Amino acid sequence: MNANLERQRWLGAFALAVAVPLPLTGVVSLPFLAPYLAVALWAVTSPRPLSALPPWLENILAPVILVAVIASGGIRFGLLRPVAQLAVLVAAVRLPGCGHRARARLTGGMIGLVGIAGIASSTHPTLALYLVGLLAFVLVSVGRLTGVELTQGATKREKKLAWPPVRLVAGSIVVAMLVAAPIFALLPRLRSPFAVGPFGGRAASGFREAVALHGIGDVKLSRRLVMRVSFPGVGQGHVSPDWLRLAGATMRHYRAGSWVEGRMKGERLTSHGGRPIELATGGPPGVRRHAEIVLEREGGNLFAPLGATAIETRSPVALSRDPSGSLRFPRGTDLPISYAVTFDPARVEQPPPDESDLELPPDADRLRELAQRASGGTANRLAAALAIEEYLQHNFQYALRSNAPVREDPVEWFLFRSHEGHCEFFASSMVLLLRTVGIPARLQAGYAGGEPDGEGGYNVRDSHAHAWVVAFVQGHWRVFDPTPPEGRPGILEAGEALSLRAAWDRFESQWDRWVLTFSLSDQVSIVQGVAQASARSLPVLMRATPAAVLLVALLLLVRVRRRRLPRTVEVAKGAPRVTRALIRVVARASKRGVPIGPGTTAREFARLASVAFPAAAQPLARLVGEHERYRYAGAEQPSWRQLRRTVRAAGNAMAAR
């Protein structure tokens, strides 16, 4: 195989390898991906080097590619998709003729851009394994191509040896991972810790403050404990499931597949005279209930029943309330946080509706038609809301897997194509449908239900995360839950012991926490933790410094006084065991003063050592004899056991003197 053909096949295989995430994440649509894969397969399987396209044909294809990328949607769903589709088409044009060295570099760069797009659009934990495999492939291919270029004109056997060593590839991967981990931890984070990329499947484990329907992926039933909730004075048999609907965030603005809430400055909540903080004033009097909550989840959101009227913190924490009514605490606050909430089960506390609660996407005609058909055209707002809720519950299926394609609005994809999804799709769809008939509506995210803990309280886990709708009908806010019953968490019995599925879910939860949502505040927390640990350990280090200095000085003194072996007794790598045994004895004799020159033979050494150590004459003669019989007569080497006995006998004789 000539160098051009091998270079072409490696680049074609590289093009196929980087394309693995593309059909899974949907960042490149099939009409763009198909020609790219076809040309890459052609480059791999062709028995001869492909010829490059004529320059005039490439010049004609360039504007055609640009028009196709713009016509496919442009940057409606972000910049990554058009860049990825442009890269795959340009790479498909450049792959023919990539066997030539001058063309190979540019082609490899375009394929690398395709790989970056695929990696950037994928957020599944298996991405780590894929990256390791892709790095190994790149190292092997680069090493092989370099070896082929260096061995041009060599023999066939020498060309077969032009492969990078396995240890070099494995060592390079380990070094790359060790270097990449601290770089990832140190690079600044410019996005919200809850934000995810707008492309690809992300495992949604638990509560999410920012709902991006294009980035949900699979809902994983994580078993991580979030909080413990109890209702003093009320038995578990008298606890309503509605009391365990705990809101953490309320969202109003829907933009291209995501609920976007700006970081508006919130109202700081303070307690006066140690009294509970009032969250709502006025309103009709009703039965008040009390909930004791211990929050163990990081994130900055505080969870409370929907009719919360007052809160009292048992832990030192600074609380604030954003314009949507969500309660927040500063990141880095020590957990757990203990607090008590007074709430009215018959009310839903929310700021009054405004024009943002009626916002709709630019193209909402199909949504209006569907809302009119689902509600039956009734003018009664409550009846219309109940009809839309029932329509979604009975005509759509709950599913854990909901990867919406990036080329479509996810709500429209759910309503008009897939007809299945999980709670965030159901709730988002109902909010937009209610708005088309003039009903102000908001999406709420939090937790619903829990597991009895056997002590009168409830354990709320990530798997209880849920999304629902609050709509303003008949003069007050009301809760609607369009998710089918099988998709609502509810009050469940305690789960089983840790299983392989639960272990994987826990791993995915950690991946979400420390990779996908790793934020600037996490970096600050890590720096603060290191600084605090250093401050605590500084006195111990100061006390241990003199002992450490003394130990280092002793080691240096021993090293300086230690006599090095002469160069004549250096052991070559792979030397026979009888030779290594003889050299070990030579080293001991040299340390004890036996003069050994550069030309000293084995017999001469035995004579000199026997004069200095008469008791060692017999084992030295036996060892030298075995060495000469193996080296000059072709005899078998003695076993390691015999050699150890001989070396030990000679060493003991030298030590005895």
* Nearest in space to 339 (alpha carbons), one of 362, 359, 310, 368: 310
Is the per-residue pLDDT at 310 higher than 80?
yes
Q: Is the CB of residue 122 less than 8 Å from the CB of residue 129?
A: no
Distance from the Cα of residue 75 to its chain's centroid = 26
C-beta neighbour count of 268 within 10 angstroms: 9
Which residues make Cβ contacts (< 8 Å) with residue 629, sequence separation at least 6?
635
Q: Quick one: pLDDT at residue 612? A: 87
pLDDT of residue 548: 86
State the average pLDDT over residues 397-411.
Answer: 78
- What pLDDT score does 208 carry? 66
Instruction: Specify the pLDDT at position 154.
Output: 58
Q: Is residue 580 part of a domain?
A: yes
In a domain, 517, yes or no: no
Q: Does the pLDDT at position 192 exceed 60?
A: no
| pLDDT range class, residue 483, cuts 50, 70, 90 | very high
Q: Is 251 among the domain residues?
A: no
Give, as one character, the DSSP assignment of residue 650.
Answer: H
Q: Quote the CA–CA distance of 321 and 302 in Å, as a whole number.
A: 10
pLDDT at 499 (0 to 100): 54
234, 256, 290, 228: which is closest to 361 by C-alpha?
Answer: 256
Q: Which of 160, 186, 212 is the last residue of a domain?
A: 186
| Confidence tier at 568 by pLDDT (50, 70, 90) | very low
Ramachandran class of 640: left when φ > 0, alpha when ψ lies in -120 to 50, beta otherwise: alpha
The predicted model gives 521-534 an average pLDDT of 79
State CA 655 to chain mean position distance: 60
In a domain, 223, yes or no: no
- Predicted local confidence at residue 498, as pLDDT: 45
Q: How far apart are the first and last CA of the chain?
A: 68
Q: Which of 144, 168, 186 is the last residue of a domain?
A: 186
Q: Which two tokens stand for residue 166?
A: 């396995």
Distance of CA 236 to the CA centre of its chain: 39
Does residue 200 carry a pLDDT above 60? no
In a domain, 127, yes or no: yes
How far, in Å, CA of 3 to CA of 104, rounded?
Answer: 12
How far is the C-alpha of 90 from the C-alpha of 88, rounded, in Å?
6
Number of domains in the chain: 2
In a domain, 412, yes or no: no
pLDDT for residue 439 is more than 50: yes
Domain boundary among 129, 164, 186: 186
Instruction: Please tell me the distance from the alpha carbon of residue 14 to that of residue 43, in angstroms, as a whole number.
Output: 11
Return the residue matching tokens 């082609």.
Answer: 107
Question: Is 353 inside a domain boundary?
Answer: no
Domain assignment of residue 168, yes or no: yes
Identify whether the C-beta of residue 333 lies closer than 8 Å to the C-beta of residue 297: no
Query: Over 70: is that where the pLDDT of 57 sits?
Result: yes
List the domain range (segments joined by +) for residue 10: 3-186
CB 489 within 8 A of CB 449: yes
At 205, is the pLDDT very low, low, confident or very high (cuts 50, 70, 90)? low
Closest by CA position to 253, among listed 215, 210, 217: 210
* Range with the poorest average pLDDT among 75-89, 258-272, 388-402, 562-576: 562-576
Please give the pLDDT value at position 566.
Answer: 42
Range among 81-95, 185-199, 406-420 with highest mean pLDDT value = 81-95
CB 325 within 8 A of CB 470: no
Please tell me the predicted confidence (pLDDT) of residue 303: 92
Instruction: Give the three-state DSSP class for 434.
Output: helix
What is the mean predicted confidence (pLDDT) over 414-432? Answer: 91
Minimum mean pLDDT among 195-199, 512-516, 595-599: which range?
A: 195-199
Maximum distance among all alpha carbons in the chain? 119
The burial of 350, by beta-carbon neighbours within 10 Å (0-12 exposed, 13-18 middle, 19 or more buried), is given as buried
Q: 114-128, 326-340, 425-439, 540-554 — which one is most confidently predicted on average?
A: 425-439
pLDDT value of position 259: 84
Q: What percent of the chain has pLDDT over 70?
A: 83
Q: What is the 3-state secondary structure (H, E, C) of 98-132?
A: CCCHHHHHHHHHHHHHHHHHHHHCCCCCCHHHHHH
Cα 443 to its chain centre, rounded Å, is 28
Comparing 83-87, 240-244, 349-353, 561-565, the range with the smallest average pLDDT is 561-565
